[in-house]
Amino acid sequence: MDIPIKPLIIGKVGKSYGILGWITVFSFTEKKEKIFSYLPWFFLKEKKWTKIKINNWRKYKKNFIVHIEDISDRSIVKNFTNSYIIINQYTLPLLKDNNYYWNDMLDCKVFNTNNNYIGQVINLIRTNNNDILVIKNKLSPFKKNILIPFIENKIIKNINIHNKLIIVTWN
């Protein structure tokens, strides 16, 4: 398999490190080191897919450096700079009932507790205080995105991933 069936972005590639083919990576996973639990990786840059096998990695400052199998030259590995790190979503472990991944909330329809349609989830933003749902609102005359704090039980009342539906306390 040269490209993932159900692609999911879990990180990004930074600049090369040293002369022996190491490269910096930035993990988008909640627990940063978990990125190494989801292998194989695929790099995507300029619509070109490359399947990657990691043979070594270590923590470096707040991120990681990795060595890719069969590459020991800086000039080759630097071509991957700014690539997205993508996995096949099926690589993720199955979750028990009522648990979900962030990615599962994308495209969910959002209604308030009065059953008024607010919009559709197009992104999630992680902040220090709480996460934020980014909602595309096609009904608003201004057509601006709506940002809703992801505070469970207070603002986020119900998430039904199977029906792609989220209920919020929001006007």
List, in order of start, the domains of the chain with CATH numbers: 7-91 (2.40.30.60), 102-168 (2.30.30.240)
Q: What percent of the chain has pLDDT over 90?
A: 62
Q: Are 32 and 24 in contact (CB under 8 A)?
A: no
pLDDT means per 10 residues in the chain (171 residues)?
A: 83 93 92 92 91 94 94 92 92 79 88 93 86 85 85 92 92 80
Taking all residues of the chain, what is their mean pLDDT, rounded to a whole number? 89
Whole-number pLDDT of residue 100 = 81
DSSP 87-119: EEGGGSPPPPTT---HHHHTT-EEEETT--EEE
Q: What percent of the chain has pLDDT over 70?
A: 98
